[in-house]
Chains A and B, each alone.
Chain A
Amino acid sequence: MRKSLIILLALISFIQISYSQSRKQEKEINHLLEQMMTAFNYYNGIKIKSMIMDDQFVKIIQGGMVLKPNYYEKIDTGVFKRSQVTFESKWINKNIRIIDAKNVVVVGEILTITTQKDKEPFETKSINSVVLQKEKGNWKIVTMHTSNLTQNRNF
């Protein structure tokens, strides 16, 4: 009886630890995703690049184009900043799927409000698939695939 009770208590503790680890993981992921939006909104290319894993496999795909690794280094001096286009992007919904303690998949929608000088601001929505992996205690983007959301069936 006593042994069974000890095993039961150990199992309960294990489940509680796993659950709180999972909550902690989600919190870390949400924080990273918010930081990513802030970095995009303020043209902080260096910050964005620091969130991306330094690995040959890494792919950042926008629409049908694979972006070159140094793409984000050019954001802070790039064409958008020079033309005074501002973006306000935020996640409007996301689903986080935890594979294990170090690997997570996030699929969600980002709403972007684009404002250009002397023009009316307009909204676009994109659907994003992001794979994150924990490396040396920090979450890093392994792949990010973005498409403009559409209601038009294309297959």
Chain B
Amino acid sequence: MKPILSIVLLFVVLNYHPVFCQEANVEKDVYVLMEQFALALNKKNVEKAASYFLTNPFFQYISDGFVVSKEEWVKYKKESLDRMGHYSFRWTDKEIKPLGKNGAVATCKSYSNYRINGGPMGPTESIYTITFEKIKGSWYMTNIHESPNDIGNEISQ
């Protein structure tokens, strides 16, 4: 009887005791991950950016209805960044909601600025829904859904 009770007690403590339910750190961890992702993109380090994606068949990057896997995203992103002389990327309007102690969802916008082959600068804004999970102590993006922001994208001359 005692071993069963010990196992049950251990289960309850690990899942419900406030010390182990660290939802407060979830927002901070996800925020840091998003900033590291943005930093990697600004350095055009696509492999590093993709290292924050979950390596699992569930992962999808949905860009305005075009669905790609992690490997496809790396390939296409490298191709598009290679065409760009100047590229900058930052998050704006980040809102993060913890989903328990091992998950989170963020809605946010991104602002990118790029120049292709000496042409005009092209700022673009996108709106995102991103889900995150903590697996074996590390946070990963498990699904990224991006749409061009409907406020309007402009090309400056």
Chain A residues with CB under 8 Å of chain B are: 3, 6-7, 10-11, 14, 57, 59, 61, 63-66, 95, 97, 99-100, 102-103, 105, 107, 126-127, 129, 131, 133, 142-143, 145, 147-155
A70 to B37, CA, bound (A): 34
Using A100-B102, A154-B66 as known contacts, say yes or no to A129 and B129 having CB atoms under 8 A apart: yes
If over half of A's interface residues share one DSSP class (helix, strand or loop), that class is named, otherwise mixed; here it is strand
Indicate if the CB atoms of B67 and A149 lie closer than 8 Å: yes
Indicate if the CB atoms of B102 and A147 lie closer than 8 Å: no
Residues of A within 8 A of B63 (CB): 154-155
Indicate if the CB atoms of A129 and B131 lie closer than 8 Å: yes
Indicate if the CB atoms of B129 and A64 lie closer than 8 Å: no
Residue B65 is within 8 A (CB to CB) of chain A in the complex:
yes
A26 to B62, CA, bound (A): 23
A63 to B102, CA, bound (A): 28
Residues of B within 8 A of A129 (CB): 62, 129, 131, 143, 145
Q: How far is the CB of B151 from chain A (nearest CB, A)?
A: 8
A148 to B148, CA, bound (A): 12
Residue B149 is within 8 A (CB to CB) of chain A in the complex:
yes
Partner of B11, one of A3, A14, A66: A14
Indicate if the CB atoms of A131 and B3 lie closer than 8 Å: no
Partner of B129, one of A11, A14, A143: A143
A119 to B103, CA, bound (A): 46
Indicate if the CB atoms of A105 and B143 lie closer than 8 Å: yes
Q: A10-B4, A102-B100, A105-B103 given. 17 additional CB < 8 A pairs? A: A3-B3, A10-B3, A59-B129, A64-B147, A97-B133, A97-B142, A99-B102, A99-B103, A100-B102, A105-B131, A105-B142, A105-B143, A127-B145, A147-B147, A151-B66, A153-B66, A154-B64
Residue B111 is within 8 A (CB to CB) of chain A in the complex:
no
Indicate if the CB atoms of B145 and A66 lie closer than 8 Å: no
Indicate if the CB atoms of B7 and A7 lie closer than 8 Å: yes
Indicate if the CB atoms of A59 and B3 lie closer than 8 Å: no
Residues of B within 8 A of A147 (CB): 62, 64-65, 145, 147
